[in-house]
């Protein structure tokens, strides 16, 4: 399991329907809205994920 960088939900990377690649790393999402938000500004969410910030919103 991995963590969706937008909403912090656990996602099974083996069955995830939503995935983005950024700087040679894969990111997995629980919903298309989370993927779109990440794709619009990946640096914002990578930085927050590295700092272990709490969820940004309750999208799911």
Tell me the pLDDT tens digit for each residue of 5-22: 999 999 999 999 999 999
Consecutive H or E run containing 25 = strand 25-29
Q: Is 60 among the domain residues?
A: no
User: d(Cα 24, Cα 57) in Å, to the nearest integer?
Assistant: 26
User: d(Cα 58, Cα 9) in Å, to the nearest integer?
Assistant: 10
> Based on the structure, what is the number of domains in the chain?
1
**Domain range for 10:** 2-50
Q: Model pTM greater than 0.85?
A: no
Q: What is the pLDDT of residues 9-59, one digit of tens each?
A: 999 999 999 999 999 999 999 999 999 999 999 999 887 665 555 555 556
Q: Is 10 among the domain residues?
A: yes
Q: Is 58 among the domain residues?
A: no
Burial class (CB in 10 A: 0-12, 13-18, 19+), 32: exposed
Q: Is 56 among the domain residues?
A: no
User: d(Cα 30, Cα 19) in Å, to the nearest integer?
Assistant: 9
Q: Is 59 among the domain residues?
A: no
Which residues, listed in sequence order, are joined to residue 19 by a DSSP beta bridge?
A: 28
């Amino acid at each position: 399991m991995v963590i969706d960088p937008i909403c912090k939900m656990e996602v099974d990377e083996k069955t995830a329907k939503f995935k983005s690649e950024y700087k040679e790393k894969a990111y997995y999402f629980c919903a298309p809205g989370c993927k779109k938000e990440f794709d619009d500004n990946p640096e914002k969410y990578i930085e927050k994920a590295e700092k272990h910030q709490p969820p940004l919103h309750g999208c799911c």
